[in-house]
Amino acid sequence: MLSCPECASPVTLAATPRLSEILECGDCQAELEILAVEPVTVGLAPEVEEDWGE
């Protein structure tokens, strides 16, 4: 079972996790990123930068 790097709560994944996919921890709402898929690892997603957007 994966755990949130921020609060250590279990993290639920989609059926087919994708690299760089963004998830939200159901417990602490931290934004997480899938860093690898075989096996799946997650880390805290990068903070929003000034030039991000549409």
Partner 1 sequence: MSKPRVAVLASRIRTDEKHILAALDRRRICYSHVDSRTLWSFSHGTAATPVTLNRELAHHRAVYAARSLEALGVTVVNSATATEICGDKWRTSLALRAADLPVPATALALTPDAAREALAAVGYPAVIKPLVGSWGRLVTLVPDAQVAETVLEYIAALPGPQAHIVYVQELVAARGRDIRAVVVGGEVLGATYRTSTGWRTNVARGATSQPCPVTPELVKLATAAAAAVAADIAGVDLIEDEQGRLAVLEVNAGVEFSGFQQAMGDRVNVADRIVDHVLSKVEAL
Cα–Cα distance for residue pair 31/23, rounded to 1 Å? 6
By C-beta, is 8 or 44 nearer to partner 1? 44
Secondary structure element (H or E) that encloses residue 43, with its range: strand 40-44
Question: CA triplet 19, 12, 40: central angle to 5 degrees?
Answer: 35
| Closest CB 34 distance from partner 1, rounded Å | 8
Q: Considering beta carbons, is residue 20 or 38 the nearer one to partner 1?
A: 20
Q: Which residues bind partner 1 (CB under 8 A)?
A: 18-22, 33-34, 45, 49-54
Instruction: For partner 1, give the closer residue by CB, 38 or 51.
Output: 51
